[in-house]
Every structure is written in structure tokens, then in C-alpha cells.
Amino acid sequence: MHQQRIIYDDTTVRRFIIASVLFGIVGMAVGALVASQLAWWQANLGIPYTTYSRLRPLHTNAVIFAFVGNMMFAGIYYSTQRLLKTRMASDLLSKIHFWGWQLIIVAAAISLPLGITTSKEYAELEWPIDVAIAVIWVVFAINFFWTLARRHEKNLYVAIWFYIATIVTVAVLHIVNSLALPLSGLKSYSVFAGVQDALVQWWYGHNAVAFFLTTPILGIMYYFLPKAAERPVYSYRLSIIHFWALVFIYIWAGPHHLLYTALPDWAQSLGMIFSVMLWAPSWGGMLNGLLTLKGAWYKLREDPVLKFLIAGVTFYGMATFEGPLLSIKSVSALGHYTDWIVGHVHSGALGWNGFMAAGMFYWLVPRLYGTKLHSPKAADAHFWLGTVGILLYMVSMWISGVTQGLMWRAANPDGTLLYPNFVETLLAIRPMYIVRFVGGSMYLVGFIMMAWNLWKTARAGKAVDGEATVVVEPPAPAPVPARAPTPGWVQVVTGRPLVFAIAILTVTMFLGWAKPVRAVVLLGAIIALGEFAWIVTRRDREAGRPSWFGLIEGRPLAFTVLTLIAILIGGVAELLPTIMLKQAVPAHGQAQDPYSPLELQGRDLYVREGCYTCHSQMIRPFVAETQRYGDVSRAEEFIYDHPFQWGSKRTGPDLHRLGGKYPNLWHYTHMMDPRATSPGSNMPPYPWLAEQRIVVKDAPKKLALMQRLGVPYSNADVDGAEARQKSQAEGITADLAAQGVQVAWDSEMVAIISYLQRLGRGPQDLPAPPEKSPAPAARLPAATIASEEGR
């Protein structure tokens, strides 16, 4: 037995904190800009790179992966070393991780405004950056698990469990959702299409929130909240139940983003049920955090760190109450596609992630620089400014969302729509967009105050690396006494809880799909999982036997494998039936005709410009929606959509049945000056589409790649792609020319018009050019060509 002096690697922690604060300011500033663009369309600035539709993905990626990602890594690197009582295994890997992650962020910041995007929410980055993310994540994982193997603390503390779940699950999510075939170095197409792509995307999208924005931050909560409160975690048993229930249930909840869509009904119901079940473990974690402060609530009056941490945990509880609520079908029918969802997302991002980050930074920076916080009063002012900003944001979006949902479905006594013009609903919520901008700006100002406070704190001290002395024990030569035998792998694998869980899952899988017994089986499964949680945490004190969880807690490999199994069960059960079974999507109908070469070019422009951020392509089975937009969308209509374009927010109307609704001139005018066709619209103009040219020679390459993805193009289609592309484009330009609009046949405007005219119908249904031409567009009054839908 001897003592060993350890100097922790806190340089990496400081680097991640600096990066998180800087990128946080950038991400939130872009968020304030896009919020202003919804209230004042002129804030789009009239150039391609600053439109709402291109900046919105930049905002989400900057906040999620740059701000929260760097904050998460800072917390993990700091707490892991101290919980395992060892320095990170490799300084080199830590440096590669840090600088590699920053280069990825810079690549995202450059590519997204340029329109280089996959259009998959929270996964918009193109394939070379996706590969870089996977490589850097593997570097991080190697460093983490290598450190775990060299630890001087046998048992794994709660925070480490959540870090393990994060590393394993994010890797699985990222790899599956990013599967694509490259067309070039900056363009690729998802290997999934339509319904399958939607399911994979929201399996990823929801669980990116779960395992990137939630589980690692819960690990940080379990470490930093007890440290700041100087109290132990309220309940260790509750921590165990919280972890396993959250990891197992969360992975099933993704389909609740697709309620009332063309997704199979069984998948929708499954997502809703597991989302409602999430209430229990989520609130278990929240209560465990709040009750950790038991006996120390008085500290909230003076300690800004605890104010932020406790408020963050409270916002976590609010967000995890609202999420399951919104996953109930009747509530989703009102809230989906509205600003209510935006308010829900930001209550978690600003309240949970933002406040936990602030609390952690205010606690960490003075210790990392060997000094005291420069201004507790400024930190306190930041807290109240941020809190009021969040509340303004949330309340305005709740009001806006409910108003939208009710106006969309409002009907006259004769059954006709009370507000047939979509722009009417947009104008009604404009004041709420202004309040949202004010609230977000207040939050940004508070964050900048924090950056100033932390900078002054660091300037007042100097960088200090933490140190610790640990006792290193040599391997014990004698066997463990018979009274408390060391459990082996057999006991872990054949333990009662694991066998019990497999039995429950088997019964659920084989009986749960049958409608007559579904409710009974799911209720039984919930009760059984509760009993399972009790068994996991129970130990025999008299016999000196540890709980089953105690058997795996000191075995990182076993723990990691079981965590992987827990998340794979839900993923496999949801994804494989829809992806592998042909019956999941009917194979019939003229609407399944593949896109023409020009339409495919136009679809890529639609993706590049980010039109999906404001428009959906999914008409739900509601009377109000079929009256407003047309026939309900069907699963088979999307089988050649790589990627899908169903959208998640309607700032403008649904476009799925747009094809043939308006003449080519209307679309041209709408793109050049949206308010000429839709008075009151907040859509920015897109004049550059009329000036820029498509790459004509890309048409056969795109069709050939689509062939590889299963789209039934013949070799003749590929060979004649350029000729077909030009022929269709010349038909559109001739129609526009007859009405006084001159535009080149290979302009991007013509390509995107061809795609918009195709939406919701087969190419054989496209109309011939009109025999009679109205007056030139410049002479048409706005009322003559006004849209019934707006934006």
C-alpha cells in the first residue's frame, strides 16, 4: 500500500468552459436575430446567407453542440477525474477531442449559412462533418473508458452512469441517423426515405435531446448540486431507479413527434405510451435533485450558484411534465406544428441547460483560477434577468401556439373555415413574436453579463490544476471471505432482475400488439418494471450480499453492455418493423412516380434554402386541414423522398398539395416578393433564385445515385436526364415568357417552381401551358394573384 499524488488535467476543463461561453453568446445572438426575423421580415437582410431558413439550423446546432456540448465536456472532464481519483488517461486525446470539436463547430458555422445541409433536424451537417463527429466522439470515448479502467475508486458514482449512457447512446444515434450515400463532397442523400426516414430522424431527434441535452446534464447535476449544497444526494436508491428507467423508456418516445402523420398507427401509439411513462423517472430525478437541498434551502438567499442549479432542475421538471403532456394525441392535435412546441423546447434549453451551465460555471471558474467570484451581485442580476426572459419567452409561445392551433381549426356554423387565409393566423400572433424577441434578448444580455463576470474572475486569479492524494492498494493475495463472495459474471448475467426483465419484455413484445390485450399487458409491464426496480436496488444485509445493481456497479464493461442493451431494445423494436417490412408502406399509386430530373434539382434547392423550417408537407386527418390544404397525406406518397420533408413547424402553410394549385407566374411572383401574393407574410424574398444557375450536369449523377437507393429510374432515364431536364424547364420558361417574365431555363427559380408544382401529385398530372396569358406580372395588382394561404 502506498500513496500517490495526482494532478488533474484542468487545462482541458478551462478550454471547454471558454469555448462554451463564447459559442453560447454566438448561438444565442443568432437566436435573437432569427426571432426578430419572424416579427420583422426585413431583418433577413435580403441576402441568401442571413435568411431565417438558413440561420435557424445554425442557431440550433450552435446552442446544442457548441454551447451545451462544450459545457457538457467541461463538466464531464472535471467531475470524472475527481470521481475516479485519477487524471484523464491521455492528455493527447483530450487535446484532439477539444480542438477537433471546435473545428467541427466552425465547419458547421460556415456550411449551414451556405445552404450545405441535409435538412434533418439537429443533424443538418453534411457527411464529411458527420464522419468527423464520429471520429472525435470515438476519441472522447476511448479517453473516458481508458480513464475508467485506470481508476482508483472501485464503485462508479451516479454521475458516471449517466456519462456512460451518453457516450454509448449518442454514438448509436448518430451513426444510424447519418447513414447516407454521398453525391459529392458537400451533398448526400439519406439511405432512408419517407416514413422510414421520418421515424429514424425523430428516433434520433428526440433522443438527441434525451442523451445529449439531458442525461449528461443529469450527471452534472448529481455531481455539482451536492457539491454546491454541501449535502449528499437525497436518495441513492432513487438514483438507481431514475437512471435505468430513464435510459430504457426514453429511447421509445421518438414517434410522439409524428402523431397523426403517415407513420403506422402502432408506432404512434407506442411512442405516446412510453412518453407518458417518462413522467415517473423524469420527476424522480427532479425530486432527487431538489430534495438534495433539504436542510440547506436558506443558502438560496445568498448563493447564486444554488439559485441557478435549483432553478435549472425546476425547469427540467416543468419541461419533462410538458413533454409527456404534448405527446398525448388529443393535445398533440392542437399543439403540433405550432409555437407551443417552440416554447416547450426553449423552456428546457434556456431553463434546464442554460441555468445548469451558469450554475456550474459560477462554481467552477473561481476554483479553476484559485480566487473568488468577481461579483455575486452581477450573478444574482443575471439570474433574475434570465428568469424573466425565459418566462416571457415561454408564456408568449404558449399563447401563440394555442392561438394558432385554435385559429387553424376554427369553423363557421356551416362548417367552413373561419380563418381560411393562413396569414390571418400569422398576423394574430405577431405581438407574441415581439415579446419572444424581448425575452430572448433579455436572456442573452444576462448571459453576456455572466461572460464578463467569469472573465473578471479569471483575470483576478491564475490557472490552478486540482490535486489529490490517493491510497493505492496492491492486489489482495488472499481470496475474499466466504461471507461476502465476490460475485462473478454468471451471477450478473443470470441474476433475477435480468431474467425478470427479459420475461416481461418477451410477453410485452408478443402480446402487447394485440389490441384486446394491449392495455392490460402494458399496465402489467409498468407494474412489473416497478417491481424490477425494487429488486435491482434490494440487497441482503444479513447475508452480506450486495444488490444486483451492486454486482455491476463496479464492473464498467458489464454496466456499459447492459446500458447498450437497454437502449437497443427500444430502437430495434421501433425501427426494424418499419424499415424491413415492405407491408409498412403500401407499394401502389401514381403518386409514387419518381421525380423528374428538374424536380429533383428543385427539391435540392428547397432543402438548401431551408424551406422545411417554415413549411410542412404532411396533411393530417383533420377536417380543418383537409379543407385548408387538400387530401390527407398517405405513406406511399413519400417512398422516394430522400430525405423526407414533413417539417416540424408551420410558420407558413402546408405545401403537400401545392402542386397545380397556382400557375407558374404565382410561384415566381411569390418567391420574388412574397407580399405581392400574400399581404402580411413574413417570408423573405428569394430574388437570387432567378439569377443563379443549376448545375445541369448533376442531373444524371443524381438519378444514378437515386437508382442505388432503390428509386426505379431506368438506365435510359439516367442517360436522358439532361435532355428531359431542359425540355421541362423550357416549358416553364415559355409559360412565364408568355406572361411577360423572362428567366433562363437553367435558373434555380425554374427548378424550384417545377418541384413546387409537383408536390402532391404525379408528373403525368402536370398541366399544359395555358392557352391565354394574363397581363405581365408587373402589371397585376396584388389582389389578383393573392394566395388563399399566405406565406
- Average the pLDDT over 417-428 and give the result: 96
Can you tell me the distance from the alpha carbon of 387 to that of 369, in angstroms, rounded to the nearest whole number?
28
What's the pLDDT at 514? Answer: 43
Angle (CA) 517 522 528, round 5°: 125
Confidence of residue 554 (pLDDT cuts 50, 70, 90): confident
Name which residue leads in pLDDT, 774 or 707.
707
Q: What is the pLDDT of residues 381-391, one digit of tens each?
A: 999 999 999 99
Res 617 pLDDT > 80: yes
b/e for 731-755, b at 16 or more Cβ within 10 A?
bbbebbebbebebebbbbbbbbbbb
Specify the pLDDT at position 502.
53
Predicted pLDDT at 786: 41
CA distance 416 to 202: 34
pLDDT over 50 at 605, yes or no: yes
pLDDT over 90 percentage in the chain:
75
Show Cβ contacts of residue 2 under 8 Å, excluding neighbours closer than 6 positions.
471, 472
Short-list 581, 659, 577, 645, CA closest to 609? 645
Contact assessment for residue 118 and residue 644, using Cβ atoms and an 8 Å cutoff? no
> According to the per-residue pLDDT averaged within each range, which of 262-266, 404-408, 490-494 is highest?
404-408
pLDDT one-digit tens code per residue, 175-219: 999 999 999 999 999 999 999 999 999 999 999 889 999 999 999
Predicted pLDDT of residue 557: 86
User: Which pLDDT band, with edges at 50, 70 and 90, does 578 fall under?
Assistant: confident
As to burial, measured by CB atoms within 10 angstroms (0-12 exposed, 13-18 middle, 19+ buried), residue 399 is middle
For every residue of 208-247, which 3-state class applies, written as one string? HHHHHCCHHHHHHHHHHHHHHHCCCCCCHHHHHHHHHHHH
Residue 550: pLDDT band with limits 50, 70, 90: low
Contact 754, 726 (CB under 8 A): no
Whether the pLDDT of residue 764 is over 90: the answer is no
State pLDDT tens for residues 178-188. Answer: 999 999 999 99
503: pLDDT strictly greater than 90: no
Retrieve residue 322's grid coordinates: 410538458
CA angle 628, 631, 632 (to 5 degrees): 100
The DSSP line for 742-754 is ---TTBHHHHHHH
Contact 137, 174 (CB under 8 A): yes
Handedness of CA 483, 486, 491, 495 (dihedral sign): positive
Q: What is the 3-state secondary structure (H, E, C) of 662-721?
A: CCHHHHHHHHHCHHHHCCCCCCCCCCHHHHCECCCCHHHHHHHHHHHCCCCCCHHHHHCH
Given a contact cutoff of 8 angstroms between Cβ atoms, the answer to whether 354 and 447 are in contact is: yes
CB-based contact 38:682 (threshold 8 Å): yes
What is the model's pLDDT at position 788? 42
Q: What is the mean pLDDT of residues 35-64?
A: 97
Distance CA 192, CA 215 (A): 28
Nearest to 200 by CA among 171, 170, 179: 179
The predicted pLDDT at position 576 comes to 80
Calculate mean pLDDT across residues 688-697: 97
Grid cell listed for 433: 413574436
pLDDT tens digits along 3-42: 889 999 999 999 999 999 999 999 999 999 999 999 999 9
SS3 state of residue 467: strand
Task: Tell me what pLDDT residue 542 has.
Answer: 45
Residue 56 has pLDDT above 60, yes or no: yes
Mean pLDDT of the region 448-462: 97
Compute the average pLDDT of residues 567-576. Answer: 85
Task: Check residue 688 and give its pLDDT.
Answer: 97
The answer to whether 299 touches 235, Cβ cutoff 8 Å, is no
CB atoms within 10 A of CB 18: 17
d(Cα 7, Cα 227) in Å, to the nearest integer?
20
Higher per-residue pLDDT: 420 or 533: 420
User: Which residue type occupies 494?
Assistant: T
Distance CA 663, CA 675 (A): 17
At 781 the pLDDT is 35
The secondary structure of residue 767, as a DSSP letter, is: P
Distance CA 54, CA 59 (A): 9
Mention every residue, 6+ apart, whose C-beta is less than 8 A from residue 493. Answer: none
3-state DSSP assignment of residue 178: coil
Q: Give the Cα separation of 68 and 120 in Å (integer).
A: 20
Task: Evaluate whether 748 touches 686 at the Cβ level (below 8 Å).
Answer: no
Predicted confidence (pLDDT) per residue in 63-119, tens digit: 999 999 999 999 999 999 999 999 999 999 999 999 999 999 999 999 999 999 999
Q: What is the pLDDT of residue 555?
A: 80
**Position of cell 405550432?**
338
Pairing of strands 187-190, 180-184: antiparallel
Chain mean position to CA 489: 37
Is 325 within 8 Å of 279 (Cβ atoms)?
Answer: no
Cell numbers linked to 291: 430534495
The pLDDT, as a whole number, for residue 524 is 54
Q: Which three cell numbers stand for residue 360?
A: 456550474
**Residue 76 contacts by C-beta under 8 Å, 6 or more apart in sequence?**
144, 163, 216, 219, 220
Q: How far apart are the first and last CA of the chain?
A: 74
Mean model confidence pLDDT for the chain: 88
**What is the distance between the alpha carbons of residues 287 and 310, in angstroms, rounded to a whole number?**
11
Q: CB–CB of 23/489 below 8 Å?
A: no
- All three cell numbers of 409, joined, read 381549426
pLDDT of residue 301: 87
pLDDT category at 346 given cuts 50, 70, 90 is very high
Q: pTM to 2 decimals?
A: 0.89
Alpha helical stretches, state H, 369-429: 376-409, 422-428
- Residue 782 is predicted with a pLDDT of 36
Q: In the predicted model, is pLDDT for residue 140 greater than 90?
A: yes
pLDDT at 516: 46
- pLDDT of res. 296: 83
Question: Of 746, 696, 718, 695, whose CA–CA distance to 594 is shortest?
Answer: 718
User: Which of 46-50, 503-507, 657-661 comes out lowest in average pLDDT?
Assistant: 503-507
At 577, the pLDDT band (50, 70, 90 cuts) reads confident
Check whether 663 has a pLDDT greater than 50: yes
Q: Per-residue pLDDT averaged across 157-166, rounded?
A: 95
Under 8 Å between Cβ of 574 and 729? no
Quote the cell numbers at residue 5: 499524488
Per DSSP, 461 falls in state: S
- Dihedrals φ, ψ of 417, to 5°? -70, 135
Confidence check: pLDDT of 427 > 50: yes
Whole-number pLDDT of residue 377 = 96
**Between residues 114 and 558, which one has the greater pLDDT?**
114
What the block records as the C-alpha cell of 53 is 431558413
